[in-house]
Amino acid sequence: MIIGIDLGTTNSLVSVFGENGPELIPNSLGSYLTPSAVFFDKSGNSIVGESAKNHLVTNGDSSTSKFKRLMGTNQLTNIARKNMRPEDLSALVLRSLKSDAEAYLGCAVEKAVISVPAYFNDIQRKATVAAAEIAGLSVERLINEPTAAALAYGLHDKDGEDTFLVVDLGGGTFDVSILEMFSGVMEVRSSAGDAFLGGEDFTDRIVEYFCEKMDLVSDKMLAEDLSRLRLVADRAKIMLCDEMTANVSYRNGEEEVALSISRDKLESISKDLINRTKIPLQRAISDAGLTASEIDRIVLVGGATRMILVRNLITRLFKRFPEHELDPDTVVALGAAVQAGLISRNAALEDMVMTDVCPFTLGYETSRQTLGHEQFEHGIFSPLIERNTTIPVSRNHIVTAMQKGQKEIDIRVFQGEAPYVRDNIKIGSYKISLPYNMKEHEEVDIRFTYDSSGVLEVISTVVSTGKESKLIIEGNPGTLTGKEIEKRFKELEKIKVHPRDEAQNEALIARISAAYENALGERRSAISSLLSEFEHALASFDKRRIEEVRSVVEERLQYLEASNAFD
């Protein structure tokens, strides 16, 4: 059984291709969306999801989120006195999703298709594979998020012949892909994006706006206070999807402050973020050799595309309304399940074929002789696989040593679109030993192979000897060796998971505690009473009573959370 996983910055989902097509798998709380947040309790047990998200407010030192943005770096997160890499934290989320799938399917799950932003580089993709391996999953395929979304839409209209533009604005990344569908074949024509632009950036702008209103400096706020303000800002952002103005409240010290923001104000304070979305849109259309008028369908993907300012931008640029027939929060996970079905050769998908592209240019550093042929200019970027080349693909170049008798060549691999390597992203480097030869310049054959998961392999061969060398990326941020992955897998096994049957109760307690932190006066007193009532029910160990009280408490809490200083 191969499952599909959408490993997101804000939320993650798991799915499977069943008898009736792609279906989402609920977590232990009955929800399809699992917040990508991790918390460690006092016993060292890990908790992932809604409860961990609420603990960001009450236990900032023992909880964390948004670590997907750190994938491909060596940045450590200190949580509950543990230094954890982004792969470790992502592995905890993946392990939780794996557990949900196994509980739902009633069998062990060891294989997965995992979606990644189209603009994730080679290091970030390998970090994602490493996280899966640490969680005990074998990655059958990494699928680009907009491609997954298009697969989900394409399944609904297998006989259609359309050119799709998929606009994917998630919690932390922005991707654009153009695809053509004809006779059940889905072909990606081009991809572009920004790996550091997402809904969280818009939340940040609202946080800064609210801080300005309260004469606060976000960098100087306590972690718990800032987490509470982020939750308030996020709530305001969501409210603006349906209302012209969002009215919320925030406990600042011993004062409950009424805060307000309008759609126009959000658009004003995030104008530069909106402008950043235009560049990938223009590049994707240009690379596909199309004009805006030749796009048949525009599909919105990712929770952040619910923002009216995003939908208005797309409508203005393309002079038509975008589609959101499928839930933008879940469509990528559904597409990952379709890809899992394709790999499993499911009979329902036998007439469906998909091709994808390399979203960025891959190349290596070279030097070229100046006009007088006496000196060399270094740092030149030589493309080998151009962006938007259909994958899988393998290309090679012959390079020549700069001098006779040269003992080695330093191969430095980069990703990017700039003419000089200093402006591109370094993926890795390694040295190739050359035989001593004073008669002529030694030659080396460099071959790049980019597979269907978007993972790069570099092989170089000394032409005169036939000796091969593979690029092993060492010392680069985000790169783990096989031994390190095995070590982390064993360490993760030692971290106990909070009991699944207690997850619902733990999540409600964390939610009540977070609401208490952000309230004052009578509202705080009422929330405290709810916590006491629920804890008394838990102490009875009577499952029926616990379920009854939980239902009542959730209803009352929802009312108290919705009320604010404007009421």
**Angle, alpha carbons 557-561-564 (nearest 5°):** 140
Q: Which residue has the tokens 């679109």?
A: 417
Active-site position among 145, 201, 234, 442? 145
Active-site position among 6, 87, 140, 365? 6
Active-site position among 50, 100, 168, 200? 168
**Angle, alpha carbons 354-356-361 (nearest 5°):** 170
Residue 6 a catalytic site member:
yes
* Secondary structure (3-state) at 334: helix
Rounded Cα–Cα distance for residues 330 and 301 (Å): 9
What does DSSP assign to residue 440? S
Phi, psi of 485 (to 5 degrees): -65, -45
Rounded Cα–Cα distance for residues 305 and 170 (Å): 8
CB crowding 66-77: b at 16 or more within 10 Å, else e? bbbbbbbeeeeb
Rounded Cα–Cα distance for residues 137 and 140 (Å): 9
Q: Which residue has the tokens 């989900």?
A: 152
**Element of type H or E holding 516:** helix 503-517
Is there a contact between 184 and 160 (Cβ–Cβ < 8 Å)? no
Residue 168 a catalytic site member:
yes
Residue 487 a catalytic site member:
no
3-state SS, one letter per residue, for 259-294:
EEEEHHHHHHHCHHHHHHHHHHHHHHHHHCCCCHHH
Q: Which residue has the tokens 């997402």?
A: 198
Residue 68 a catalytic site member:
yes
How many C-beta atoms surround the C-beta of residue 332 within 10 A? 33
Packing angle of the helix pair 271-287, 308-318 (nearest 10 deg): 40
Give the C-alpha distances (Å, rounded to integers) separating 252 from 222, 238, 518, 558.
11, 22, 9, 22
398 Cβ contact partners less than 8 Å away, ≥ 6 residues apart: 443, 444, 445, 446, 463
Active-site position among 53, 68, 98, 237? 68
Cα atoms found within 13 Å of the Cα of residue 302, Cβ hemisphere only:
30
Mind telling me the catalytic residues?
A: 6, 68, 145, 168
